[in-house]
């Protein structure tokens, strides 16, 4: 019997994913509904039978976007910005948590972007009439050192920033509701939308290369407003839409 919804098994109630079958998990691994949508499966933590859960093939439970888009809270190190900068212990952020910040994400067919019907529907539905490509690497980007430094300055835009990675990979860092940095690793096939007014920055990872499709509504405006620019209408609207509604909720300690 197939069960829809977010699932967990066993007494520890660790969240798994979207659908599963009771016959697959087997006797003694009862399923129950939980509130969050896409916390990742962690072998050995889903129930008391750690051997069973560690060996079970639960890959079909994973959101396919997570293969090309990952996110985690950053440490405070000033080492090479191209390093992952995980906290200890690692603290991952789900794509649903990113959506609560206004960050949208898709997994698309990067090898066939010219004929991809899903991309076409997204562009039509969201009004992305403009499109071009940007290759970021020392060999392809003029004034590379200056540009990469500017990309990594914390800033906002008054319009959405839409990036579709068709080759390579890179990090988009965004601020959460409590002003902590979340690092979003976008790889080939991953597309994200950063909402207008969110403070963010970009850097390459250690592969030193990304080719990204840039989309825009109407004529493109790439103007960055380095922090602080809290007086801008786009920033105020972002705070009203995504941050202030969370203020009444109990704060989650993201500094651990």
pLDDT at 132 over 50: yes
Query: Is 229 annotated as a binding-site member?
Result: no
- The more confidently predicted of residues 74 and 32 is 74
pLDDT at 119 over 90: yes
Residue-number span of the structural domain to which 162 is assigned: 65-247
Are 56 and 114 in a shared domain?
Answer: no
Are 53 and 70 in a shared domain?
Answer: no
Are 147 and 74 in a shared domain?
Answer: yes
Are 70 and 58 in a shared domain?
Answer: no
Are 172 and 141 in a shared domain?
Answer: yes
- Residue 254 included in any domain: no
Query: Is 85 annotated as a binding-site member?
Result: no
Q: What is the pLDDT of residues 47-73, one digit of tens each?
A: 444 333 333 444 445 699 999 999 999
What is the percent of the chain where pLDDT is above 90? 70
Are 81 and 45 in a shared domain?
Answer: no
Are 56 and 135 in a shared domain?
Answer: no
At 245 the pLDDT is: 73
> Are the C-beta atoms of 2 and 29 separated by less than 8 Å?
no
- Residue 253 included in any domain: no
Alpha-carbon distance 236 to 243, whole Å?
A: 10
Q: Which element (helix H / strand E) includes 148?
A: helix 144-151
pLDDT at 212 over 50: yes
Are 57 and 118 in a shared domain?
Answer: no
Mean per-residue pLDDT over the chain, rounded:
81
pLDDT at 214 over 60: yes
Q: How far is CA 172 from the centre of its chain?
A: 8
Q: Indicate the number of domains in the chain.
A: 2
Taking CA atoms, 70 is separated from 10, 52, 183, in Å, by 26, 26, 8
> Are the C-beta atoms of 200 and 180 separated by less than 8 Å?
no
Are 218 and 203 in a shared domain?
Answer: yes
Query: Is 29 annotated as a binding-site member?
Result: no
Both tokens assigned to 101: 């910040």
What is the percent of the chain where pLDDT is above 70? 71
Q: Residue 244: pLDDT band by 50, 70, 90 thresholds? A: confident
Strand, coil or helix: what is 48? coil
Which of 218, 118, 208 lies closest to 169, judged by CA? 208
Alpha-carbon distance 154 to 157, whole Å?
A: 11
Query: Is 177 annotated as a binding-site member?
Result: no
At 12 the pLDDT is: 35
pLDDT at 17 over 90: no
Given 14, 43, 62, the domain boundary residue is 62
- The more confidently predicted of residues 49 and 172 is 172
Tokens 């490509």, located at residue:
133
Both tokens assigned to 90: 């690692």
Are 55 and 89 in a shared domain?
Answer: no
The angle subtended at Cα 214 by Cα 132 and Cα 195, nearest 5°, is: 155
* Mean pLDDT of all residues in 220-241: 97
Both tokens assigned to 1: 């019997």
């Amino acid at each position: 019997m197939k069960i829809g919804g977010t699932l967990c098994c066993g007494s520890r109630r660790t969240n798994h994913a979207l659908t599963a079958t009771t016959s697959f998990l087997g006797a003694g691994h009862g399923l129950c509904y939980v509130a969050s949508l896409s916390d990742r499966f962690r072998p050995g933590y889903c129930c008391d039978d750690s051997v069973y859960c560690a060996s079970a093939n639960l890959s079909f439970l994973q959101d396919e976007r997570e293969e090309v888009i990952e996110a985690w809270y950053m440490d405070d190190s000033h080492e090479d910005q191209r390093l992952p900068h995980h906290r200890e212990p690692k603290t991952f952020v789900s794509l649903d948590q990113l959506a609560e910040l206004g960050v949208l994400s898709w997994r698309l067919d990067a090898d066939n972007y010219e004929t991809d019907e899903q991309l076409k529907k997204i562009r039509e539905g969201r009004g992305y009439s403009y499109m071009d490509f940007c290759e970021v690497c020392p060999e392809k980007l003029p004034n590379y050192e200056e540009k990469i430094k500017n990309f990594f300055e914390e800033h906002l835009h008054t319009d959405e920033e839409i990036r579709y990675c068709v080759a390579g990979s890179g990090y988009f860092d965004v601020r959460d509701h409590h002003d902590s940095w979340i690092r979003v690793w976008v790889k080939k096939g991953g597309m994200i939308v950063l909402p207008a007014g969110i403070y963010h920055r970009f850097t390459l990872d250690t592969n030193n290369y990304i080719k990204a499709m840039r989309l825009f509504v109407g004529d493109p405006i790439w103007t960055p407003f380095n922090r602080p620019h809290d007086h801008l209408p786009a920033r105020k609207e972002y705070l009203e839409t995504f941050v202030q509604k969370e203020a009444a909720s109990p704060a989650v300690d993201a500094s651990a």
